[in-house]
Chains A and B, each alone.
Chain A
Amino acid sequence: MIRQLSRFLAVAGIFLLVACASNSEPKEKEVVVINPDDPHERINRKTYAFNRGVDTYISSPLATVYQFVLPDLVSGTIANFFTNLKEPRTVINDALQGKERPAGEDFERFVINSLLGLGGLIDVASYAEIEYHEEDFSQTMAVWGVPRGEYVVIPVLGPSSYRGIPGKIVDAAASPVSYLVWPIQVLDLLNSRSNADQSLKFIDEAAVDPYLFMRASYIQWRDYQISEGANAETDILLPELNDSFDDEDLDLLDDDLDINL
């Protein structure tokens, strides 16, 4: 579960074409409560449903073929190649955020993997225990104090925010993949979707409302990335934690609740 969730969190912002259960659209005459982070929920849910359709009929079958055709070793090598191509973006954003040590490590990773790892096909830097970081321009803007803004689901690309949209544009401009021939760009998309496969299955299995699951986890995960984990101790303190039980509820604590399958 953890590995699946971790993978989901790691790829959610890259290429999230959601394949989930069928109850993402509020039914007519139902009470719609507006979430302050997501005032455009109605439109976002429609985009989410569209993305789900694209994934079900296009991306998922292609990813299945991709996984079937390529042995794990080859797909792993391809994943290494595209991860390495993201390193220049990471180095730039490390520098823009004033993170000297990570910038040095990420630059080192890029040089070592590009030269000794056959253009990034082999992740030599990880064998040398040089830590991998993920930074993007949306995180940089957050560090600069740009607020997240409202949650949006972008057609085909998946969950994001007002801050995330310019972030994605700058990241695309800073990515070497954007300047390569289209078959390599398609390969990059297949690699990303393939890496997201287990995570999407996890959401499908675990979520009661996949749209809300995606939104809540995306927002928390991005906050975690931006704060380097510092948010975890404070953001979890929900106001309900300090509520005490009413007298009648205390009886529930003593009851044998007969937990069985």
Chain B
Amino acid sequence: MMPIRKVIMMFFLFCFTSTGFAEDAETAAATKVVTDFQAVILNVMQQGDKLDFEQRFAIFKPAVIKSHDLTKITRIVVSKEWKTLTTEQKKELIRKFSTLSIASYAHYFNSFSGQSFKVVSAKQLSPGQIYVHTFLVLPDDKDVSMDYLLKKTGDDWRIINIITQGVSDLALKRSEYVAVIQRSGFDALLTELSAKIEKFSN
């Protein structure tokens, strides 16, 4: 008969290894979200001049909606101001912010000159939060660090923040958007976002 101490040790070993396997699977799933989205970026860039802005927007739209948690990102970028908004205002802000996010990708990723992405590492920062460390490899320049923070929404991992060379997109937008709302009101922020969308689409 197996000694009780051995049984307990095996039980804990089983628990730890299963946790490890589960964590690895989650990390792999989150990394795939990032690599799939980066593949879309490269695909659009490689098509370059063949696509106009509207066509790039149409390609990025499902990819961004699938890979980014736009609702949660929108709520975070306005911080405590979220609670001051009506349901209609929240909907309008999510719609406008999502459109701007997609338009930004469509505006900036419009040509290709040999860039590629490489994933360096991925790790769970806390349950439900995974950090994927990647580089954008530029043929004639130093690699650019591009890290992704993903959160689990339901069964899916979604990008919630992108950190380029240590600069957090979420923190950057939060500092701007909160200030605009506090200084000039919610409508002023919507006007600014609309102006950016207009600028990117021309």
- A residues near B (Cβ < 8 Å) are 1-6, 9, 23, 26-27, 30-33, 35, 132, 205-209, 212-213, 215-217, 220-221, 223-225, 227, 229, 231-233, 235-238, 240-241, 243, 245, 248-249, 251-253, 255, 257-261
Having A208-B176, A233-B125, A258-B95, one finds 5 other A-B pairs with CB under 8 Å, namely A5-B164, A26-B183, A32-B183, A217-B172, A238-B76
- Chain B residues touching A, majority SS: helix
Contact A209 B90 (CB under 8 A): no
Q: Is B75 an interface residue (CB 8 A)?
A: yes
Other-chain residue from A3, A213, A223 in contact with B144 (beta carbon distance below 8 A): A3
Residues in B neighbouring A260, C-beta threshold 8 A: 99
Tell me the B residues contacting A by CB distance below 8 Å: 54, 57, 61, 65, 71-72, 75-76, 79, 87, 90-91, 94-95, 98-99, 102-104, 107-109, 125, 129, 131, 136, 138, 141-142, 144-147, 149, 151, 160-161, 163-168, 170-177, 179-180, 182-184, 189, 192-193, 196-197, 199-201
Chain B residues with Cβ below 8 Å from A217 are 167, 172
Q: Shortest beta-carbon distance, B176 to chain A, in Å?
A: 5
| Cross-chain contact B141 with A3 (CB below 8 angstroms) | yes
Decide if B61 touches A259 in the complex (CB within 8 Å). yes
Q: Which residues of A contact B144 (CB under 8 A)?
A: 2-3, 5-6
- The reply to whether A224 and B76 contact each other, CB–CB distance below 8 Å, is no
* Chain B residue nearest in CB terms to A6: B144
In the complex, the answer to whether A216 meets B142 with C-beta atoms within 8 Å is no
Measured CA separation A232–B168 after assembly (Å) = 8
Find out whether the CB atom of A259 lies under 8 angstroms from the CB atom of B125: no
Structural contact, A243 and B168, CB atoms closer than 8 A? no
- The answer on a CB contact under 8 Å between A261 and B94 is no
Identify A30's interface contact among B107, B146, B183, CB under 8 A.
B183
Cross-chain pairs A/B with CB under 8 angstroms, 17 sampled:
A1-B104, A2-B146, A6-B144, A6-B164, A208-B180, A208-B196, A212-B175, A220-B168, A220-B171, A220-B172, A227-B166, A235-B168, A236-B171, A241-B160, A257-B95, A259-B98, A261-B103
* Chain A proximity of B103: nearest CB distance (Å): 7
Asked if B75 and A232 make an inter-chain contact with CB atoms under 8 angstroms apart, the answer reads: no
Determine the chain A residues whose CB is within 8 A of the CB of B183 once the complex forms.
26-27, 30-33
On whether the beta carbons of A245 and B75 are closer than 8 Å, the reply is yes
